[in-house]
Structure 1
C-alpha cells in the first residue's frame, strides 16, 4: 500500500481527486439551487449526480497518465519529490548528457532495510559513472537531497544536471520491487519509467537494465566498451551482497566506529565469497583507515600491511574493477609514499570509471604531493563540478588554491564548504591557515578553535599564538600536542615546530612521520607552514628519501 501511496502522490492523483470532488460539490450545489427555479424535473439532478460519480474514475485515470507542464500536456509527470534544499547552480544551462541519481525511497516495511535502498542507489550511480559520455553528479551531492523538500527543477539547478533518476525499493524476503523513473529537470516530464519485480538473485541484472534504459532514453551512442554493465565482475549471492551494502554504508561514515564495523561486514562477505573483489577493496580501505586508531606503531603498520595484501588480491581477482585500483592507489601514495605506483593505479581507475568523484579528488592529492599544483587544482575542480554539494571536495580544492597564493579563490571555496556543512571539521583549519598566512593571527586562532580534531586544533593554536607574540600560550599548546598526539600526528607536530622556526625539532618530527607513514607527509612539498625549511639541505634529503621530485 505504501508503494501505491507513493505513486498516487507522485502522479498528482490525490490532488486531482480533491479538486474533482470540490468542483463536483460546487456544481451540484449550484444545480440544486437553480434547477427548481426553472422548473427542470428532478431526474436531471439525479443524472448530474450519476455523471459526477461515473466521471471520477475517468478523471483519476487522466491524472495518472497526464499532467500540464510548461511544455503543454505531457504523459506521466511526477509531483515534486522529497529532495534537498535548493542551492544556486554554477551554470544557467545544465550539461546536456547529465544525471543525478537520487536515493531510492525505502518502501519496505522494515526501516532497517534503508541500507539496501541507499546501496542500490549508489550502485546505480557508480554504474552510470562508468560512461565517459555522461556527467553523473557525485554521491554526496545526490544523497544530500534525501528526506528534504525541493522540486525536480531545483535539484537540476543545484547540481547542474538535465535529468534525475528517482524511484523506490520494496524488499520482502527474497523478493524485491524496484520502480525507477528518469525525469527531465526543466520541463518536469518523464523520459522513461519502469517497475521491476524480481528475486534478489537478479538484482545485478536489474541494475544493468536500468543503466541501459537511461543510456537509451538519453540517446547516448556508446562504444561497446562503454556500456554500463556488471559483466565480467563477480556477482555475489543475496546474503553476501547484503553484508557488502552494509559495509559500504559504514565505510561512508568515515568514523572510527564506521571503519571498524565496515571491516566486520566486509569480512562476513569474504567468508561467504572469498573471490568478491569489490568487498576486498572495501575491506582494504576500512583496515587502512582503522589503523590510525590502533595503540602502537607496530599495530598500525601491521594493519596497513594487511590492507595492502587485501587490495592486491582484489586487483588480481578483478583487473577491470575501477574501485579496486582507487583503493590501492590511496594505500600506495598515502601510506607507502609510492607516488608513481599510485598514479598508475589512478589512471587505471579513471579508465574504468571516468566519472568517479573519489578517484578524481584523491588523484588531485597525489598530483599536489608531487608538486603538480596546477594539475591537482584541475582534478579538484572536476570533482567539485561533479559533486558541487560536497564540502570535502571544496575544502580539498582550497588547499591547492592556498598553496598557489590564490587566497580569494581559497576563501570562496572554504565559504562554500561551510555553507554546505557548517560543522565541517577541516574547513575551519583551512580558514585558520588562510588568515595565518595573511598575518591575522587572532582570526586564525578563532578558526583553529573550531576544528573538530584535537591535532589540527592544537597545531593551529600553537602557530597562531606564536604569530601573535603569545609565547607561553604557544608553548602550552605545543606541549599538549606532543604529549597527546605523537603516535598518530608526527607531521602536524613538525608543522608547529617549523612555524616556530625550531628547525631541528621540525626535521626530527618529519623523520618520525616518514617512519610512521604518516598521511600528512603527502603535503610536504606544498605545505606553506614548512616553507622556511626549503632552504635547509635536510629538506632535499627528506624529499629524496620519499622519492619526491626536488623541484
Structure 2
C-alpha cells in the first residue's frame, strides 16, 4: 500500500488474466498504466520466478528479472520485486509508506502456511459449498503450521459465515465464525481482513452496530479490500437498508470490476 499508487485488486487481475491476453486491453479493463506480469515454476524446494513490469501504452518492458531461489526465500523475493517496481516507476516512499511495509513484513508467516492460505482464498471465491469446505480445510492446514496466522483465522470465519448463509444454517457454523473472527483480531488488530470477517460474523448474529464498526475499521485499514465493501453490503441488505446496500455493492464493484456477485446484488438492492 503506497500513497498515490493505484493498484487493481488481486481478484480483478486474476479474473482478467483468464480471458484477456492483450496488455493494452488488460490495462484498459483494470484502469492502470502499467501491468506486472510473471510466472512461477516449482521443482522440489526450488523456485523459478520471472517478473516483468510492462508499460500499457507501448507494450515495452520497464523492468524484468528472473529469480532462482529456495522456497523459503519467497518473501524476500516479494520484497525485491516490490522495491524494483518502486524504482522503475520512480516512486518516493513516504514515512507512512515505509511504516506500512514494515507492518506487512511483521504479518508474514511460514511459506507453506501462506501457500495453504492462498489455496484457501482461491477455493473460497468459487462461492459454492464444495469450495467453502475445501477452503476451510486449506485454512485449517495453514493454522496447523502457524497457529497465530490471523489471515487464516479470518478465512475460516468467512467460510463458516457463508456456509451458514448459503448452505448450512447450523449453530456450529455460527459459533465457529464468531470464534475464528475474534481470534483473528486478537492476533492482528491491524488486519483489515480480520475486521471484515468479524463484521460478517457479527452481522449473522444481528449485532449490526458492532458489525458496522468492524466494516468501517476494515475499510480504513485497507480501502482496496473487496471483502470489506461486499460483506458490509450483504449486512445492509440483511437489515433491509437497500440504499446503503446499493452504495456498498457499488463500491465493491469499483474495487473489483470483474466480480459478478456485487452487480447482481446491486440490482436486487435497487429493485427493492
Bin of the TM-score, shorter chain as denominator length: 0.7 to 0.9
Residue 350 (structure 1) shift: 1.8
Q: Distance in 2 between matches of 1:381 and 1:222?
A: 31
Alignment correspondent of 1:306: 176
2:113 aligned residue (240, 245, 268)? 240
Give, in angstroms, the shift of residue 368 of structure 1. 5.2
Picking from 125, 128, 148, the partner of 1:275 is 148
1:208 alignment partner, one of 66, 69, 79? 79
Cα gap change, 1:379/1:162 in structure 2, threshold over 3 Å: closer, same or farther? Answer: farther
Q: What SS does structure 2 have at the residue aligned with 1:270?
A: helix
User: Who is 1:251 aligned against?
Assistant: 124
Alignment partners' CA distance in 2, 1:218 and 1:382: 27
Deviation at 1:307, TM superposition (A): 2.0
Cα 1:358/1:216, change in 2 over 3 Å: farther
Q: How far did residue 358 of structure 1 move?
A: 2.1
Q: Does the alignment pair 1:164 with 2:25?
A: no
2:97 maps to 226
**CA RMSD between the two structures:** 2.4
Question: For residues 42-71 of structure 1, what are the alpha-carbon distances to aligned partners after superposition, in whole Å with 9 as ceiling and x for unaligned?
Answer: xxxxxxxxxxxxxxxxxxxxxxxxxxxxxx
Given the alignment, which residue of 16, 37, 41 partners 1:145? 16
Q: 1:131, 1:353 within 8 Å by CA — same for their partners in 2?
A: no
Larger Rg: 1
Q: How far, CA to CA, are the matches of 2:14 and 2:126 in structure 1?
A: 13
Separation in structure 1 between the aligned mates of residue 86 and residue 20 of structure 2, nearest angstrom: 28
Structure 2 residue matching 1:320: 3-state secondary structure: coil
Structure 1 pair 214–346 and aligned structure 2 pair: CA distance change class (3 A): farther
* Aligned-partner SS, 1:169: strand
Query: Does the CA-based 8 Å contact 2:161-2:200 persist in structure 1?
Result: no
2:109–2:146 CA contact under 8 A, matched in 1? no
Gaps of 5+ in 2: none
Aligned to 1:395: 264
Distance 2:128 2:116 in 1: 19
TM-score between the two structures when normalised by the length of structure 2: 0.87
- Give the 5 Å matches for 1:68-467: 130-227=1-98, 229=101, 230-236=104-110, 238-291=111-164, 292-294=166-168, 300-333=170-203, 335-367=204-236, 373-403=242-272
1:400–1:215 distance in 2 versus 1, CA, 3 Å: farther
CA contact 1:256–1:293 (8 Å) conserved in 2: yes
Give the Å deviation of 1:233. 0.8
Q: CA deviation at 1:284?
A: 1.5
Q: Deviations over 1:316-348 (max 9, x none)?
A: 011111111111111111x11112211211122
Deviation at 1:354, TM superposition (A): 1.5
- Describe how 1:5-20 pairs up with structure 2 within 5 A: none
**Structure 1 spans left out of the alignment, 5+ residues:** 1-129, 404-551
CA contact under 8 A between 2:226 and 2:255: conserved in structure 1? yes
Number of aligned residue pairs: 268
Contact 1:131 1:355 in 2 (8 A): no
Work out the CA distance in 2 between the residues paired with 1:270 and 1:140: 23
- The 1:208/1:401 distance shift into structure 2, 3 A limit, reads farther
CA deviation map 1:384-419 (0-9, x unaligned): 23322222222233233334xxxxxxxxxxxxxxxx
Deviations 1:401-439 (A, max 9, x none): 334xxxxxxxxxxxxxxxxxxxxxxxxxxxxxxxxxxxx
Distance (whole Å) between structure 1 residues aligned to residue 33 and residue 263 of structure 2? 23
Give the C-alpha shift of residue 357 in structure 1: 1.8
**Larger RCO of the pair (alpha carbons < 8 Å, separation 6+):** 2
The Cα of 1:253 is off from its aligned counterpart by: 1.5
SS at 2:37's partner residue?
strand
Note the 1:467-506 alignment, pairs <5 A.
none
CA distance in 2, matches of 1:210, 1:293: 41
Q: CA deviation at 1:282?
A: 0.8
Do the aligned partners of 1:164 and 1:184 also contact (CA within 8 Å) in 2? yes
For residues 91-119 of structure 1, give each alpha carbon's deviation from its aligned partner in whole angstroms, at most 9, with x where no partner exists.
xxxxxxxxxxxxxxxxxxxxxxxxxxxxx
> CA shift at 1:373, angstroms?
5.0
